[in-house]
Amino acid sequence: MSIFSFFKKNKSKEKTKTLPQLLNELKQSSDFANIQFETRGNHISIYYFDSLIDPKLLQQNVLCHLQNDVPGRSSLSLDDLPQILPVQRIEVTDNVETIETKLLKGFAMLQLNENKRRCVLINLASENLGLRPNNDSENEFSVVGPKVGFVENIGTNLHLIRRQLVTPNLIFREMTIGSMSKTKVVVAYIDGITNEQTVQTVVQRLNDIEFDIVFDNSLLDQMISDNSSSPFPLFVSTERIDRVVYALVEGQVAIFADGSPYVITGPSTLFHFFTSPEDYYLPWILGSFFRLIRIFGVMFSTLASPIYVAVLTYHYEMIPKDLLGPIIFSRSNVPFPPILEVLFLEITIELLREAGARLPTKVAQTLGIVGGIVIGQASVEAALTSNVLLIIVALAALASFTTPIFKMSNTIRFIRFPIIFFATFWGGVGIVFAICLLLIHLGRLQSFGSPYLVPFYPLRRKDFVDSLVRSSYSGTVRRPSYLRPRTFWRYDPKKAKQKKDIDE
Amino acid sequence: MKRIAFILLIMLALTGCKNYRVVDEVQIIQAMGYDVKNGNYIGTAIYPTFKQGPMTKPNILTTSSSTTYDLIPRLSSKSALPIEEGQLRLVLFGEEFAKGGITEVVHSLARNNKIGSRLQLAVAKGDAEELLRITAKKTLSDTLYLSNLVEQNIRAMNLPKMNLHLFLYNYFGKGRDPFLPYFEKKGDFVKLEGIALFKDGRFVGKVNLRDSFLVKVLLNETKNGMYQLRVADYRKKEESRVLLQNLFARSRYEWKKRGERPVLTISIHIQAAVKDYPSWLDMPQKNTLKMVREKMEKDIETSVKNLMEYFKEKEVDPLGIGDFVRSQTRNWNEEEFYREYKEIDIRPHVKVDIIQTGIGE
């Protein structure tokens, strides 16, 4: 509460602040530097944040020119400076608010002859200082295809997108979010393809955000989400360029935030989360096959251990006669009911994953081996779990790794537990009940106002070409209809199909 | 939020109502035998104890009671774990018991939701208990010995398809009678002897394993079974046998009622392979083949006739002829039909095609 009121007071003060007041305030900081010197009777003072600017730029583009070129001139005014200084972004202003934000963004303020009102703002920001120059997209790795990923610098990211989408219709709309971080956020879409209503929704939601610091794009993701109490991610967030470009071409909107290597694209459907760029780089039969395997993996991962619990607790009739022996034998020494046995192993695997993610890579590798082999084997030998369950849980964990989007694989990790509880309370009926609840929930979800379960609900037959399977490129000429794109055809399908024989 | 909390609370409260049947905390019985001795019913159950993976050790529990209803509850009084019949694969009836009627037991099985419809029922010559004890005693034997035996013979040999579901269909269906596999004790072994015929839930007669091939063919299309027939060479005056393997057989019925005597024509078409034959038979020769074929046709025709005579004599209809006739006639009446069942003139027409004789010159 006290922090909140502090900001409120500050805001009301800001309106009446004068330039000397601002300077006094900034001078409290030790990295706020001030250079003053005289050239031919002109008193020049330069203010800047030492930590934000590039000293090389200051020397080469400002100080050098001021000391060498100014002496040759008869008179010097503020408005002459943009011609003297070889800096791309330079402006003359007397607006205190602009001065403050620009100073905080790495501009230098130059005052001439103690003219206290007007000043020149020169861009000397060192954009890449401390940021990595490139990203090998290792979190969403694909063997085939480009391996360039987005980085923390939004300028670089926009550059990467513009380089691939060479069209004047690619629109970037910039805005600033965060009362303290003043993060630059860019909404990208292709004019003439993307539905304006979607763009409007996105822009409006972003504008409505009241927050102090935007650490990452995922914060925006949560704040603009249609249903914040759902475990399912409603927008794809990716660090791959091809994914974002494909989404834009389909008619989606992409949101970039400065300082985040992840880009949000939406509106998304459930199937976007099981799509990997590799599906499009492989022949369509292989791409479809691997996509189906992935979807099977998700179902297996969420249902395997609940079914184990339900069958062993309630439905022993269902066990095939040849499996009865191994299951009973491996369970005969386990002192727990199936539910505790399953929870024990599932939580062990979750612990392993968490530990693996928090530790340095080299240690994590060792941990994986120790956890996977030693703990698994030991827990079976200590009769804490059964052999059969160990295999089921390990396979389920493996299957959940196949989801290409990290957010979705987290959801799948989570969704298993309520189903396990349903299975232990009500057996098979419980599982069916849980699946029904899940389907109802999914059917009600929306992503930027468009349905999440499309093309299944509502049924869109034509959109099936790129959902469960990835049809060949001649089949995916038409953009999916749920996005309501302004033009449906990605390219002229007749031209593409034309046969060009040599002798005609 | 309040509602969700309430639902969660109810869910927790409901956990007390659950009926746990954890798979390793129940005694799963896999075969059950019913006998009657001096007016007392005896129930025998085989349950496995699992030792090393798939290896099982069969154990036997026996109890007696004056009714069939409380046999399973009485078994519980001898068992450390609750008895569960959900994995029951075979129910074996002693001959005496079967003669007294198996309706009560089958009704209770049919209503029991834990029991699958692929359960096998069977009749044992003598005591069911004795047979079950033999299967349990054998080294390395498993508790599913008898049910596997039945299934194997249905799949590959002369036994027609049967299980609880088909039994109930034949039992309740109008114009058909049920039948079950029939076991006999042969020394230290259990041997499948043929088919036991039932009338109104009572064991009334049996068909041997050779003729059960005919039952199988007459019931529906079938792709397996073995049939042996005698061949005699008039020159050599010596008798020998030929073993035929059925490759594909189908039967077709035709019902005619002109004049006094109704006529049922059964055309049977068997495509067979000659498996084994005596060395003096020159099989690839056309004449020999023809001879074997004609011999077989004649043989089967007489066998079918004899079989039908037996059915008529016992007044059973395992082939569902009544049901077939019902589908062909208006205002079919069960009682009326079976009154003149014995009068039906049955004319089998058998056609055999020998399509394989094995590799050789």
* pLDDT at residue B141, rounded to an integer: 55
**Residues A224 and A201 occupy one common structural domain:** yes
CB burial of A307-329 (b: ≥16 within 10 Å; e: otherwise) equals bbbbbbbbbbbebeeeebbbbbb
The predicted structure's pLDDT at residue B231: 73
- Greatest Cα-to-Cα distance within chain A, rounded to the nearest angstrom: 103
Q: How many whole angstroms separate alpha carbon B24 and alpha carbon A445? A: 42
- Has the ipTM of the complex gone over 0.95? no
Domain enclosing residue A296, as ranges = 282-450
Task: Give the percent of chain A with pLDDT over 90.
Answer: 41
Q: Is residue A11 over pLDDT 60?
A: no
Task: List the end-to-end C-alpha distance of chain B, in Å, as a whole number.
Answer: 86
Distance CA A427, CA B20 (A): 10
**Residue B53 in contact with partner chain A when CB distance is under 8 A:** yes
Contact A319 B51 (CB under 8 A): no
**Above 70 in pLDDT, residue A7?**
no
CB-CB under 8 Å, B21 with A316: yes
Nearest CA in chain A to B25: A332
DSSP per residue, A368-402: HHIIIIIIHHHHHHTTSS-HHHHHHHHHHHHHHTT
Going by the DSSP 8-state scheme, the letter that residue A193 receives in this structure is: T
Ordered by start, the domain boundaries in chain B are 21-211, 220-356
Does A168 have pLDDT greater than 90? Answer: yes
Pairwise pLDDT comparison (B136 vs A216), residue with the higher score: A216
List, in sequence order, every beta strand (DSSP E) within chain B. Answer: 27-28, 31-37, 40-50, 56-65, 83-84, 90-94, 120-124, 179-186, 189-199, 202-208, 226-233, 238-256, 263-276, 345-356
Q: How far is B43 from chain A (nearest CA, A)?
A: 21
Contact A331 B23 (CB under 8 A): yes
Q: Which helix (H) or strand (E) holds B153?
A: helix B145-156
pLDDT at A157: 93
Residue A223's Cβ-count burial label (10 Å; 0-12, 13-18, 19+) is middle
Closest CB to A321: pick one of B23, B89, B115.
Answer: B89
Q: Do A312 and B144 touch (CB under 8 A)?
A: no
pLDDT, tens digit (0-9, with 9 covering 90-100), for B176-208: 899 999 999 888 888 888 899 998 889 998 898
B284 pLDDT more than 80: no
User: Distance (Å, rounded) from C-alpha A63 to C-alpha A201?
Assistant: 47
Of A214, A246, A268, which residue is a domain's last?
A: A268
Distance of residue B61 Cα from the nearest chain A Cα, in angstroms: 19
Are the Cβ atoms of A312 and B22 closer than 8 angstroms? Answer: yes
Pair of tokens at residue B74: 């009485």
Distance CA A326, CA B105 (A): 31
- Can you tell me the distance from the alpha carbon of A294 to that of A403, in angstroms, rounded to the nearest whole number? 7
Overall average pLDDT of the A195-223 stretch? 93
Q: Are residues A29 and A105 in the same domain?
A: yes
Note whether residue A456 is domain-resident.
no
Task: Verify that A159 and A108 share a domain, yes or no.
Answer: no
B19 touches chain A (CB under 8 A): yes
Taking the CA of residue A420 and the nearest CA in chain B, the distance in Å comes to 14
To probe the interface with A, which of B1, B23, B51 has the most A CB atoms within 10 Å? B23
Residue-wise pLDDT for A314-331, tens only, equals 988 889 888 888 888 888
Q: What is the mean pLDDT of the segment spanning B292-315?
A: 88
Is there a single domain that holds both residue A183 and residue A241?
yes
Minimal CA separation from A341 to chain B, in Å: 12
Angle separating helix axes B128-137 and B145-156, nearest 10 degrees: 90
Residue to substitute from A311, A315, A324, interface B, most B β-carbons within 10 A: A324
A212 & A300 share domain: no
How confident is the model at residue B122, as a pLDDT? 92
Higher pLDDT, A346 or B235: A346
A425 vs B18: CB contact, 8 Å cut-off? yes
Co-location of A301 and A242 in the same domain: no
Counting one residue from chain A and one from chain B, the pairs whose CB atoms sit within 8 A come to: 64
**Contact between chains at A322 and B54 (C-beta distance less than 8 A):** yes
Find chain B residues with C-beta within 8 A of A313's C-beta. Answer: 20-23
Same domain, A314 and A438: yes
Per-residue pLDDT band for B77 (boundaries 50, 70, 90) equals: confident
Suggest the residue from A319, A328, A388, A426 to mutate for an interface test with chain B (most B CBs closer than 10 A).
Answer: A328
- Convert the pLDDT of each residue in A432-444 to its tens digit: 999 999 999 999 9
Q: Please report which confidence band the pLDDT of residue A297 belongs to, taking 50, 70 and 90 as the band edges.
A: very high
Q: Does the distance separating the beta carbons of B11 and A425 come in below 8 Å?
A: yes
Q: For B208-235, what is the mean pLDDT? A: 81
CATH of domain B220-356: 3.30.300.210
- Residue B358 has a pLDDT of 76
Is B23 close to A325, i.e. CB distance below 8 A?
A: no
Residues A452 and B106: their CA atoms lie apart, in Å, by 52
Let me know whether A247 and A288 are in one domain: no
Q: Are A122 and A91 in contact (CB under 8 A)?
A: no
User: A455: number of CA atoms within 13 Å, CB side?
Assistant: 13
| Closest CA–CA distance from residue A268 to any residue of chain B (Å) | 28
Please tell me whether residues A110 and A166 are part of one structural domain.
Answer: no
Average pLDDT over residues A279-288: 93
Put simply, whether A442 touches B (Cβ < 8 Å) is no
pLDDT digits 0-9 by tens, A32-61? 988 888 877 778 888 999 888 888 888 888
Residues of chain A contacting residue B19, judged by C-beta atoms under 8 Å apart = 314
H or E stretch including A447? strand A446-447
Flag whether pLDDT at B91 surpasses 70.
Answer: yes
Express each pLDDT in A331-383 by its tens digit.
Answer: 888 888 899 999 999 998 888 888 888 888 888 888 877 777 788 888 888 88
CB-nearest to A317 from B14, B20, B116 is: B116
Chain A nearest-CA residue for B88 = A317
B89 contacts on A by Cβ (under 8 Å): 321
Beta-carbon separation of A314 and B116 below 8 A = no
- The answer to whether the CB atoms of B21 and A314 lie below 8 A apart is yes
Contact A194, A252 (CB under 8 A): yes
Average pLDDT over all residues of chain B: 84
pLDDT in tens, A94-140: 888 888 888 888 888 888 876 667 888 888 888 777 788 888 888 88
Q: Hey, of B4, B24, B59, which one would you mutate to test binding to chain A, going by the most A CBs within 10 A of its CB?
A: B24
Mention every residue, 6+ apart, whose C-beta is less than 8 A from residue B117: B163, B164, B165, B168
Contact A312 B52 (CB under 8 A): no
Residues of A whose CB is below 8 A from B28: 316, 324, 328
Distance (Å, rounded) from C-alpha A470 to C-alpha A475?
9
Per-residue confidence (pLDDT) for residue A42, from 0 to 100: 79
Contact at CB, B55 and A319, closer than 8 angstroms = no
The token pair that represents B278 in the structure block: 């005596």
Last residue of a domain, one of A450, A482, A498: A450
- Quick check: B286 contacting A, CB < 8 Å? no
Give the best-scoring range by mean pLDDT among A68-82, A175-189, B282-296.
Answer: A175-189
Contact across the interface for A328 and B15, Cβ inside 8 Å: no
A504 has a pLDDT exceeding 60: no
Q: Would you place residue B52 in the very low, low, confident or very high pLDDT band (cuts 50, 70, 90)?
A: low
Task: Give percent of chain A above pLDDT 70.
Answer: 95
Q: Give the total number of structural domains in chain A.
A: 3
Tell me: do A299 and A264 sit in the same domain: no
Q: pLDDT class for A1, splitting at 50, 70, 90?
A: very low
Least confident span in A19-23, A407-411, A498-502, B66-70:
A498-502
Question: Is residue A308 over pLDDT 90?
Answer: yes
Calpha distance A54→A57 (Å, rounded)? 5
Q: Do A325 and B15 touch (CB under 8 A)?
A: no
What gap in Å lies between CA A174 and CA B69, rounded to an integer? 81
- Please give the DSSP secondary-structure letter assigned to residue A59: I
Whole-number percent of chain B with pLDDT over 90: 11
pLDDT value at A264 more than 50: yes
Q: B150 to chain A: which residues are within 8 Å by CB?
A: none
Same domain, A309 and A417: yes
Beta-strand pair A446-447/A450-451: antiparallel
Flag if B14 and A328 touch (Cβ within 8 Å): no
User: Is there a domain that residue A324 lies in?
Assistant: yes
Answer whether residue A4 shows pLDDT above 60.
Answer: no
Domain match, A302 and A429 both: yes
Q: What is the mean pLDDT of residues A139-152?
A: 88
The answer as to whether A432 is a domain residue is yes
- Strands B179-186 vs B120-124: parallel, antiparallel or unpaired: parallel
**Are the beta carbons of A317 and B20 separated by less than 8 Å?**
no
**Domain membership flag for residue A144:** no
Does residue A276 lie in a domain region?
no
Range B37-63 average pLDDT: 82
Most confident of the following: A83-92, A145-154, B249-258: A145-154
Does A357 map to a domain?
A: yes
